[in-house]
């Protein structure tokens, strides 16, 4: 997936994060969510980090310790995708949101 590895340094509150803690293995999209959690904890604005920020309220409700997130993550995610390829940004954004929702649903069922 294009742009997933793109990282931009930014500032968030310092939070330590232990990847994979208390979550079942093998959930759909887990690698993307775990990468996003790590990037948020490291203050890196990346596609995975912004995707986790979009899903932060539900993820927290499901028991995931999500570090502090940036404001307006939906628009920031779209803008980051558009920097890589503006013609495919919309479809890539929607695909990422579907992966997030799949992860959230699987996590809810596993709980």
Domain extent for 34: 26-110
The tokens 């930014």 sit on which residue?
10
HSE of 60, CA atoms in CB hemisphere, 13 A: 9
pLDDT in tens, 19-40: 445 677 789 999 999 999 999 9
- What is the pTM (predicted TM-score) of this model? 0.81
HSE of 84, CA atoms in CB hemisphere, 13 A: 21
Q: Is residue 56 part of a domain?
A: yes
Average pLDDT over residues 58-67: 96
Helical pair 89-110 and 30-41, crossing angle rounded to 10 deg = 100
Q: Is residue 59 part of a domain?
A: yes
How many C-beta neighbours within 10 Å does residue 59 have?
A: 22
Q: Is residue 43 part of a domain?
A: yes
Q: Is residue 8 part of a domain?
A: no
3-state secondary structure of 11: coil
Q: Is residue 12 part of a domain?
A: no
pLDDT in tens, 89-111: 999 999 999 999 999 999 999 87
């Amino acid at each position: 997936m294009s742009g997933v590895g793109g990282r931009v340094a930014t500032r968030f509150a310092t939070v330590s994060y232990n990847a994979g803690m208390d979550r079942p293995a093998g959930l759909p999209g887990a690698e993307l969510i775990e990468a996003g959690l790590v990037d948020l904890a490291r203050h890196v604005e990346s596609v995975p980090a912004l995707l986790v920020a979009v899903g932060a309220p539900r993820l927290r409700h499901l028991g995931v310790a999500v570090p502090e997130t940036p404001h307006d993550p939906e628009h920031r995610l779209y803008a980051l995708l558009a920097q890589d390829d503006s013609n495919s940004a919309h479809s890539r954004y929607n695909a990422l949101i579907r992966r997030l929702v799949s992860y959230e649903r699987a996590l809810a069922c596993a709980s």
